[in-house]
């Protein structure tokens, strides 16, 4: 579940709420009770953890070894 940032239109209070994507947007400031707007964030970066990467995501080792063997024969 993502965190959403909100800003109160009336008092300027900025706060963060941990909500499901299916939840309704908040409409009321917890400080003054005024109207709030949800801020658009840049999001977080992509994080790779654990296993599950594909071999095609990396440079092919066979072509690298073939290039190195060609260079060795030229010398």
**Secondary structure of the chain in the HEC alphabet?**
CCEEEEEECCCCCEEEEECCCCCCCCCECCCCCCEEEECCCCCCCCCCCCCCCCHHHCCCHHHHHHHHHHHHHHC
The structural domains of the chain, ordered by start, are 1-41 (2.20.28)
pLDDT for residue 27 is more than 90: yes
The residues near 66 (Cβ < 8 Å, ≥ 6 apart) are none
Mean pLDDT of 46-75: 60
pLDDT at position 18 over 60: yes
pLDDT the model gives residue 60:
56
pLDDT, residue 3, reads 86
């Amino acid at each position: 579940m993502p965190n959403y940032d909100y800003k109160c239109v009336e008092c300027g209070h900025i706060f963060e709420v941990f909500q499901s994507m299916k939840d309704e947007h908040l409409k009321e400031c917890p400080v003054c009770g005024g109207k709030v707007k949800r801020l658009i964030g840049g999001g977080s970066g992509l994080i790779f953890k654990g296993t599950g990467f594909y071999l095609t995501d990396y440079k092919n080792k066979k072509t690298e070894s073939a290039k190195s063997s060609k260079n060795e024969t030229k010398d």
